Structure 1
Amino acid sequence: MEKYYKRKSKLESSLPQEKDYNYSSAKQSRIEINVVDFPADPGLRPQIMDYNANDRDQIRRAYLQKDVKVVALSNALQNLKLTSPDIQKDFVNVAAFETINVIIRDLGYALFSILIDEAHDISIKEQMAVVIQYVDKKGQVIERFLDIEYVVNTNALSLKQAIENLFSRLGLSISRLRGQGYDGATVTKNHDQIALLFTLVSNVVNVVRALCKRRDIIREKQAAKVAEALNTGELSSGQGLNQETNLKRADDTRWGSHYGTLVSLVGMFSTVIDVLEMISKDGSNSKQRAETNVLLDSIQSFQFVFNLHLIKTILAITSELSQALQRKDQDIVNAMNFVQISKVRLQKMRESGWTSLLDDILSFCEKHEIDVPQMDDMFVTRGSKRHNAQEITNLHHYRAELFYTVLDMQIQELNACFTKLNTELLLCMECLNPYNSFSNFDKKKLIHLAEFYTKEFFLVELIVLNTYIIDMLSSSELSRLNGIADLAKKMVETRRDKIYPLVYLLLTLALILPVATATVERVFSAMNIVKNRLQNRMGDEWMNDSLTNFVIS
């Protein structure tokens, strides 16, 4: 028994005998640690080895905790807050630089396409966004934002120069580029009268929606008018009909939103007029009342009503096409059929849609008491008279200079985007679709598809197509796939991309062919978040770096 007491005595004597600090007895399995009791200077503390072996880990953690608290949080030296704008910009620039480098390394030597679109930011500077599209090593289609560039103008030469500068800076080779999607100038940008229409619509929306009080007035007045129309039988009731609404604001980054704005303006026209008349009488200052009177005079003209109904009818066709092309589950054959249907509808409207459009406009003018000019009278230009201008009738102006011209411009734009050659190319690509056990497979069309890419294929090499289709049909796993994107991933997983490299190359070319620029429009939506009215003086490089981290992260 005596040796046990001696061991106990030895353990007790192993503790540091310091009278200035309260340490627990070694009789406890774990001593009670109070960080506050330790000296701030590590040199004045007992060595960790002086403690009981069972308590050393706890003492070590307590020492570390004490050391961290000395220089952290409220006790920090206040010299590393990273609040300097220059330091913040350097961090964001480095992060953006490394992010783009990762994308370029992931791309490697693969073929790619680019998606391009432009829109102005909050500072009314024209910005061109570039998104790259490629197939990675796993067979997945990747879309990544690359850069946003300030461009002085949006003509073809300026955009081409901006793209070449971007490729040179990032080390991308134009020889690997196999397609580009560009949402170019639309009918709303090319025709002066239509551009004026959207300017007036934007001003009306801004004035009417400027205050919450005005929005409430619009909502109440529109609800009263709907109730009155239901009582008179002008509107029919039913599930989902006549829901409470307000005047929609168009989004500069999404042209499809303009259609919703025009539809809401036509449906709430009398309510908008009532609110504008109220502002013209009760406006806060004379400038506001004068501007409102100008808007009232402009939107209650036959010219405005005609342009409003014309563009609303055209956008009803093109908006459906745009939404169909941007659907991820839309197959190429149905998409191309939709393009042809849209072209036919526009052509049919040009040939026989004048009378029905004019009847709708006259009915609208009669309902809202808008003066209608006699079509046989001479057309009078608003404002100053044009020098040496040929005298024309109202019928010629509205039918030839507006109706036919705008429709022709829209049809030409569709024909430019979807030429006969491009449509044939897309339809040939549909032969690769594994849907319904490769029911669309056509060897002749695939050989014709390879003829579009003479640098990549020799027609003699495509004799492997016979073996390929037999292999695909014999595999139940591959024959149940629903799209070429799934087929590409599955070929990589089963290593068939090495067995049929030319077929996989055809799949890659089909997947990177750009059809719509929805991804770029999402970039512009992010741009309006990064560069807003509170940060409207953000520089181009700072905005590009911030946008890169915001979009890709």
Structure 2
Amino acid sequence: MDKYLIRKPQNLPLDPGLREKISSYHPNNHDEIRRCYLGKGPCQPPYDYPVSYFSGKPRRFRAKWCVTRNWLEYSIAKDAAFCFYCYLFGQYVGKQGGGDAFVMKGFKLWNQLVKLDSHVGGVNSAHNQAVKKSEDLLKEKQHIQSVLVKQSNQDKAEYRVQLNAIVDCIRFLLCRGLAFRGHDESQGSSDKGNFLELLQFLGDHNESINEVLQNTWKNCKLTHHDIQKDIVNAIERETSKVIIEDLGNGFFSILVDESRDISVKEQMALVIRYVNKKGIIIERFLGILHVASTTAWSLKCAIECLLCEHNLSLLRLRGQGYDAASNMQGDINGLKTFILKENKSTFYVHCFAHQLQLTLVAVAKNHIKVIVVGGFCKRRDALRDAQFAKIKEDLEKGVRRSGQGLNQETNLKRPSDTHIVNAMDLVKVSKQRLQVMRDDEWISLLTGVSSFCATHDIPILNMDEIFVVSGRLRRNTQQNTNLHHYLVELFYTVIDMQLQELNNRFSEVNTDLLLCMACLNPSNSFVAFDKEKLIHLAKFYPSDFPGTNILALDSQLQNFIFDMRNNDLFLELQGVSELAEKLVSTRKHETYPLVYLLVKLTLTLPVATATVERNQWMNDCLVVYIEKDVACSIDNETIMQRFQNMKTHRRQL
């Protein structure tokens, strides 16, 4: 046993260059491992394939080679091609058709494309025999177990009824986020858990299902926890498959959050954001996985692994959304920076409301004399009570007016309720206002504070006296006046720190990017439209808009705005998302493909962070529960077929 590898199917490496030989696993697990790989399919990741030189000429792997060769795989780790089926069932027969070059070492001769076809060989070649064995493995009727155990048509029909009922119960529980297991799952227990009780309830109200459940052999009831997990995994796989098919070949953004669960394990959740074929902006939960380390590089590797599992690539990424942790958005070693190094078009824009909040938090943390009242519940309640009493007194004296919307406690609006242009303008105004306050408004502030102190019988400090430092004085401590302390050490310092935080968090590039995107807003007959800014926006995405496309975009934008302003169907639109849907429904996206590309890039870029708080079981349950609309669209037959193909020792449908 010690000489064999022991690894769970869900933890098998996807990259063919990192796989071990099938023979290195325990013989009892060979078919299960093969079925797992067959369920995932060949590894064909979209990638910026590196260039190699042959006789001075540049050559590289091409994604189009996979279109007519469904057996071909590519390894990012080794920059080499492999044969999917020969890995699963190859006999390692030396140099026939390339030998183990397509199984273990990898094929790298990009200038000798003919060898890819010679690897396939004739009808009875080792490659075609491996393909035939792979097909037979997924045909349970031809499997040796099916030959030895003959099932009557009635047995098959009853098995289908039983499996279909169990799939229905599991789907019901998953889509409602309900727990499966109970404390006592014995036959006579009253606390079997939701799954067994729901199955029993279904049988009690359906005679045909009840008859099958009662007559099924004790060891074939399909109620074991491992069976439940396999069915949940089958549902999750089909759900993820529908999501990836909906994305198609389009680009997308990612929203990532990492958190520690109740078992003190770090988990990373990933959501993808894209525009579907109907022009609708979609956010889909792709998965959650355990990460041993939360360093930026570890998170990047985990993201790439999860994307690769779904044949997605960082090259199709057009936006990033994270929280404000340094390992996420750090400018030197942050996750954002590592991804930007591979793809210059993966812009990162943090949530506006959160950014504004963080500018205040940063100053409060870095200056010991700054107190944030709202950060402490008791202080906030005390301030609220005092303000309520003051308002009540002013209303009774007639000093303050009452009316709808007056005298209310206010807060920042949510990002979705704040227009981009207004938000960026307010940030700009805030910077200017802080600078004016620093230069000219110390005297007015001091006068206002003195007036407040006089009104509330608070002693007023003499600014020319020496500032008294609390605590024990140290030797050679420089003594300063109250004026110097409050003006220089507090007033100037806090404003300078606040300006620095605003400049750091609202960079010129992001501001420019968002202001350009706002020019696509269709509100008020496209009043925000600006052709030059939209052309500038296209230049942020050089891989999507090469030089020739920029010229074509200029012409399309001129026709586009004239068409939009003279078309009644586009007059009442509110927001870029409505514009995208209307362009698709009227097929205008085909008339102005480059303009529509700008619209999709604008919608794909996330401007708010994802907030999601361990294993394969948790991942499967979360994907199905969160994406229940997709999961509910998948028929039971598809799920049952995937469940059947996951393992060998199962009855025939």
The TM-score bracket by the shorter chain reads: 0.5 to 0.7
Partner of 2:108: none
**1:93-242 paired onto structure 2 within 5 Å:** 99=239, 102-115=242-255, 131-146=271-286, 158-159=295-296, 161-171=298-308, 172-178=312-318, 179-183=347-351, 185-192=358-365, 202-205=375-378, 230-232=395-397, 236-238=401-403
Distance 1:180 1:241, change over 3 A: closer
Give the equivalent residue in structure 1 for 2:486: 398
Question: What is the distance in 1 between the residues matched to 2:229 and 2:293?
Answer: 28
Alpha-carbon offset, residue 507 of structure 1: 1.5
Are the structure 2 counterparts of residues 456 and 81 from structure 1 closer, same or farther at C-alpha, using a change threshold of 3 Å? closer
Aligned to 1:305: none
Aligned partner of 1:326 among 405, 416, 423: 416
Cα separation, 2, equivalents of 1:443 and 1:207: 48
Bigger proportion of residues as helix:
1
**Amino acid across the alignment from 1:415:** N
Give 1:58's aligned residue.
none
Alignment of 1:494-509 (within 5 A): 494-509=586-601
The one-letter code sitting in structure 1 at the alignment partner of 2:439 is E
Q: 1:415-438: CA deviations, max 9, x gaps? A: 334444433333333443444444
Is 1:513 aligned to 2:605, yes or no?
yes
* Aligned residue in 2 for 1:493: 585
Alpha-carbon distance change, 167 to 394 in structure 1, aligned in 2, over 3 angstroms: farther
Asked whether the equivalents of residues 187 and 406 of structure 1 are also in contact (C-alpha less than 8 Å), the reply is: no
State how far apart, in whole Å, the 1-side matches of 2:269 and 2:474 are.
40
Q: How far is 1:513 from its partner?
A: 3.1
Contact in 2 for aligned 1:431/1:441 (Cα 8 Å): yes
| Conservation of the 8 A alpha-carbon contact between 2:253 and 2:604 | yes
Query: 2:329: which partner in 1?
Result: none
SS of corresponding position for 1:504: helix
Question: Could you report, residue by residue, the CA deviation over 1:177-217 in whole angstroms, capped at 9, with x for unpaired residues?
Answer: 222223565331354366886688655539979xxxxxxxx
Q: Which residue of 2 aligns with 1:352?
A: 440
Query: 1:450 maps to what in 2?
Result: 538
3-state DSSP class of the match of 1:132? strand
Label 1:481 to 1:161 Cα distance change in 2 as closer, same or farther (>3 A). Answer: same
1:325–1:335 CA contact under 8 A, matched in 2: no
Q: Is the 8 A contact 1:189 1:195 kept in 2?
A: no
Give the whole-Å Cα distance in 2 for the aligned partners of 1:136 and 1:387.
Answer: 69
SS at match of 2:253: strand
State the aligned residue count.
382
1:460 aligned residue: 551
Which region of structure 1 is more displaced relative to structure 2, 459-468 or 225-234?
Answer: 225-234
CA spacing shift, 1:454–1:478, aligned 2, 3 Å: same
SS in 1 for 2:499: helix
Please state whether the residue corresponding to 1:454 is helix, strand or coil.
Answer: coil
**Offset of 1:342 from its aligned partner?**
3.1
Separation of aligned partners in 2, 1:196 and 1:546 = 48
Q: 1:384-415: CA deviations, max 9, x gaps?
A: 66787654444334333333333333333333
CA-CA distance at 1:440 after TM superposition: 4.4
Letter in 2 for 1:486: E
1:370 and 1:498 map into 2 onto residues whose CA distance is 71
Distance 1:194 1:121 in 2: 33
CA distance in 2, matches of 1:200, 1:124: 32
Q: What's the counterpart of residue 29 of structure 1? A: none
Contact 1:117-1:182 at 8 Å conserved across structures: no
State the alpha-carbon separation in 1 of the partners of residues 233 and 476 from structure 2. 57
User: How many Å separate the matches in 1 of 2:392 and 2:224?
Assistant: 57
Shift of 1:135: 1.4
Pair member with larger Rg: 1
Match for 2:303: what amino acid? L
Q: Deviations over 1:92-117 (max 9, x none)?
A: 77766665554444333322234467
After TM superposition, the structure 1 stretch with the greater mean CA deviation from structure 2, 122-131 or 357-366, is: 122-131
